[in-house]
A and B are shown apart, each in its own frame.
Chain A
Amino acid sequence: MINKETVFGRTSKIIFLGICLIVTIFPLYWIVVTSLKAPGTIYSLPLDYWPKELSFENYIGLFTKSDFGVYMLNSLLVATVAATVATLISLLSAYVLARFQFSGRGWVMAAFLLTQMIPGFIALGPLYMMMTNFNLVDSKTGLILVYIAICIPFCTIMLRGFFENVPDALEEAAMIDGCSRLSALFRVLVPVMMPGIAASFIFNFVNCWNELFLSVTLMNSDENKTIPTALAGFISSFNIDWGSMSAAAVLTVVPTLVIFAFASKFIVQGLTAGAVKG
């Protein structure tokens, strides 16, 4: 690998990376094109690979005909709060799992892993009943609480890997200096692990931002709905509104894309630290 790249190697690398990029980006390009076509022209043959006339009707419709702005704010709020709280909580539990040997540790890990294997549909009914009893149906708090619970297991497993890469000596030194364990954790470890924490946060955020089934089940009123519910709403019994859906999809994907553009370095860095230990 340290020997020089051959011309052949270089060419094949460029071709491969180029193809990957095109294939990856094409669907995004296609929803952008679809969203910019005037509603009647989506079904016209031959297909236009760029709208003959740019039309923002689909986008305007989103904000005038539905409360898409409200849904976006809701998603932003719910995903930010849930991802933040889940990351904080997981930080604590991951710390314990990484730093201390106790005999139930394996079981705790298994219990967290198990949550990844459960098909969500099993729990949906009882969860709904419970949320009704707590008066948390159609409430952003309710949705946030559930999202936090969903994020914790994987986030803990991920963060635990990061902790194992940071030498114990760091926080021990801090504790000898008179810090409590909690302040040692936040004062010494968190700054060192920032890339990993950022990666976990983004992971949580994206999951909450995209979650559909729970949101549909738990949210009723327009002022509480999140974006995925709105997306599903474009499928009515006798029509799939591809134009509006594409416009909404573009608006849904762009924020996450921006986050990625800024954080992709973090993500790889963070995972480099954590992934090795699995």
Chain B
Amino acid sequence: MKSRFTTIAALGVTAVLALSACGGGGAKDSSNGTVTLKMVESLTNPTRTDTIKTLLAGFEKENPNIKVDLISPPTDSADQKIQQMLQSGKGIDVVEARDITVGSFGANKWLYDMSADLKGWDGWDNLTTNAVNYSKQDGKTYYIPYGFYGLSLFYRTDLVKEAGFSGPPASWQDLLKQSEKLNQPDENKFGYAFRGGPNANSNAVAVIEAYTADQIDKENAFKLTNGKTIFSAPEAQQAMDDYLEIFKKGSPPSSVAWGYPEMVQGFSNGSTAFLLQDPEVIATIKESKSLKADQWSVAPLLVGPTGKAIQPVASAGWGIAESSKAKPEAIKLIKYLSQGEPATTFSKDNSLVPILKSAATDPFYSTGPWAAYVTMTENPDTYISATQPRGVAWWTEWIKKSDGELQRVLTGKMTTKELLTSWDSYWTEKMAS
């Protein structure tokens, strides 16, 4: 009997020991000169992960002594995990940095400044001006963007036509009119896929910016040329009131809680007629089984009464952890991903606004859903590019605050006026410091 216990205990110990043999793992295996890079993505989705894996295979083929392990945490908790990894300083070499995380990662000295390594890199010439600007913010190169996100209006060509409109809405007021007409809650048909859930602030700010476009400071799209915040302008009040009308008269009631996935699904499963989203969504909607190719298209971002819109450019890219012990190899990988075929494949597969100049002559980007993006780039005075202060350390705090307050407005617990006053005082205070 005693021996039975010993056996069980021994089995347990053996199991633990056996397992420890297969776990763990270090960065460098010096015995055969192979370097293993750990690369962590943040905006994970299965299709994108496949693309990255293909690209990495190509890189490994070109560099037989470098191996890349891709780590793909569920996107919901990815940034938190990345923070933990960067803080621990182990097991992370290449990291997906987003314009909204790079500020805090940089402040904590978690990211490596690549400026010196990329001096005289011949790849710079192939990048668009935007890509170069975003790579060299404040004189530091914390990441090289892999693409850009920007808003445009996805719409249902068939429904708009049936309702008797000649074309897609061009302005926010048009959107209100058309959504209201198309909204038939009893049949589960709605106008606009409103964003009321996570990151709801982004679309609200887009409306406000469209209404205040004439006075906006292009270096800081939250600021007017007179130095005050955009939320203080009287036009902002009008903007929010119109926006609230769109929600009340033209959107599904459940959209109070809609975040990115729900909005996209709402459009791709055919329940809403309009969706304001990133180009990234093109690929998803193309895969939709509920929508045929001739049922939808993409129109430029909506303008305000000013006749203009502010295009908030968002970006993300690849950076290197300060703690990485394989920086030269990591640089190699980032250069590889930011050039030629790999860069093009990545932006096409994920439908991102490309970082390479060569895309301008690529027919892929001038046809179908992409035509709207060409229209926008060709009319920079109507669709004005302006930089939002997305890199500040308090950006996440702002998102949570503004999302919560916007939902409060949608659920009738706060007025648009109170909302704007609160946002105005928040940014006035932050900008002063």
Contacts and interface: CB of A to CB of B under 8 A. Distances in A.
Contacts of A222: 72
Contacts of B119: none
B20 A139 contact: yes
B84 interface: yes
B16 A237 contact: no
Contacts of B4: 186
Interface string B18-38: 011011110000000000001
Interface stretch (B40-48, B150-158, B172-180, B243-251): B40-48
A45 B188 contact: yes
B218 interface: no
Interface string A223-254: 01000010011011111110000000000000
A144 B16 contact: yes
B289 A39 contact: yes
A132 B74 CA distance: 20
Interface residues of B, number: 52
A137 B16 contact: no
B262 to A, nearest CB: 8
Contacts of A125: 84, 87
Contacts of A51: none
Given A136-B24, A140-B19, A233 B264 contact: no
Interface stretch (A197-205, A213-221, A259-267): A213-221
Interface in A99-137: 124-125, 128-129, 132, 135-137
B163 interface: no
A236 B46 contact: yes
Nearest to A216: B77
A210 interface: no
A135 to B, nearest CB: 5
Interface in A163-209: 179-180, 182-183, 186-187
B149 to A, nearest CB: 11
B329 to A, nearest CB: 19
Contacts of A141: 16, 19-20, 23
A65 interface: yes
A85 interface: yes
B98 to A, nearest CB: 11
A8 interface: no
A13 B44 CA distance: 50
A241 B268 CA distance: 13
A40 interface: yes
B84 A233 contact: no
B88 interface: yes
B23 A237 contact: no
Contact of B76 (A135, A220, A235): A235
Given A140-B19, A238-B281, A85 B5 contact: no
5 contacts: A44-B290, A88-B8, A138-B24, A140-B19, A239-B264
Interface of B: 1-2, 4-5, 8-9, 12, 15-16, 19-20, 22-25, 38, 40, 43-46, 69, 71-77, 81, 84, 87-91, 188, 260-262, 264-265, 269-271, 277, 280-281, 284, 288-290
Interface of A: 38-41, 43-45, 65-66, 77, 81, 84-85, 88, 124-125, 128-129, 132, 135-142, 144, 179-180, 182-183, 186-187, 216-217, 220-222, 224, 229, 232-233, 235-241
Given A44-B290, A183-B2, 20 more contacts: A41-B289, A77-B19, A81-B12, A85-B16, A129-B87, A139-B22, A186-B1, A186-B4, A187-B1, A217-B77, A220-B38, A220-B71, A220-B91, A232-B77, A233-B44, A236-B45, A237-B43, A237-B44, A238-B280, A238-B284
